[in-house]
Amino acid sequence: MRESLSIRAYKPVIQTHSHNFHQVVVPLRGSIQISLNEFDGSIAVGHCVIIQQNVGHSFKAEKQARFLVADLCELPNSAKSLDCPFATVSTAFKSFCLFADIQLSSQTNVVLEDGMITVFKELLSIQDFLPEIDRRISRVLEYIEEDISEDHTLVKLASVASLSVSQFKVLFAKHTQKTLGEYLLMLRMEKARALLINTDTPINIVAESIGYMDQSAFTRRFQSYHGLTPRDYKKR
């Protein structure tokens, strides 16, 4: 078979089938209710479902829901070894899927489509998959990623999740395997490194974009996290 990406909608009545290839379904709008093996759940934007070959599954979705579907001959090991087929995906992965939606819906271009499936598979292979998580925590993660430079306090984010601070701390750590501070540091340091390597953004602006008004404090934190100073990264 030829591996492919396509935009699909599903019927609001339950359908059941299997196929002799792997499939990754990424919601672009709305959600899909799906059952496979012993798992059953509703997968919405910011998540995906990974269906391995020859696994029977039942599913339905509202008519207005829309999905990017990848039919694949092979899955990366990280996707094959998940305990649960439902997973959370990164902002970069979501953004690529939205681009694919626009491109696939506007024109046919075999060369570009082959390139997109290559990029999709590469992005899939580097996903730090989180299991399907509590929607309250999903809402918080999306809120954080809208602007990681903000002062994201426990009190503020607990309010976003409609939880007490103590409940939020426990649930956040359970679903991310990190404290809030560790999670924010990871996001900020990875974004800073990407900006330093892939753009010509000055170091002080990189620092401000992730919430550091003091460039010296940013440099110390960056070097502690990555082992090199921001200036060293700029020279690479």
What order of strands is seen across the sheet that includes strand 39-44?
15-17, 57-61, 31-36, 39-44
**Mean pLDDT of successive 10-residue stretches along the chain, which has 236 residues:** 90 92 92 88 85 94 91 89 83 88 86 92 83 77 87 95 94 88 92 86 93 94 93 77
Please report the domains of the chain, with CATH numbers, ordered by start residue: 4-131 (2.60.120.280), 135-235 (1.10.10.60)
Beta carbons of 92 and 119 less than 8 angstroms apart: no
Tell me the H-state helices in the chain: 77-80, 91-106, 110-125, 135-146, 154-160, 165-176, 180-198, 203-209, 215-226, 230-235
pLDDT at residue 182 in the model: 93
pLDDT at residue 218 in the model: 95
Q: What is each CA distance from 54 to 23, 166, 181, in whole angstroms?
A: 10, 43, 42
The structure tokens listed for 67 are: 């999905």
> What secondary structure does DSSP assign to 44-78, as a single string?
ETTEEEEE-TT--EEEEE-TT-EEEEEEES---HH
pLDDT at residue 19 in the model: 93
The structure tokens listed for 38 are: 């012993």
The structure tokens listed for 201 are: 């953004």
Sequence-separated (6 or more) residues with CB below 8 Å from residue 59: 10, 14, 15, 16, 32, 33, 34, 35
The structure tokens listed for 66 are: 């829309």
Whole-angstrom distance, CA of residue 210 vs CA of residue 195? 10
Query: Coil, strand or helix: which one is 23?
Result: strand
pLDDT at residue 132 in the model: 62
Taking the alpha carbons of 160, 165, 168, 173 in that order, is the dihedral positive or negative? positive
Whole-angstrom distance, CA of residue 76 vs CA of residue 152? 34
Sequence-separated (6 or more) residues with CB below 8 Å from residue 81: none
Whole-angstrom distance, CA of residue 82 vs CA of residue 85? 6
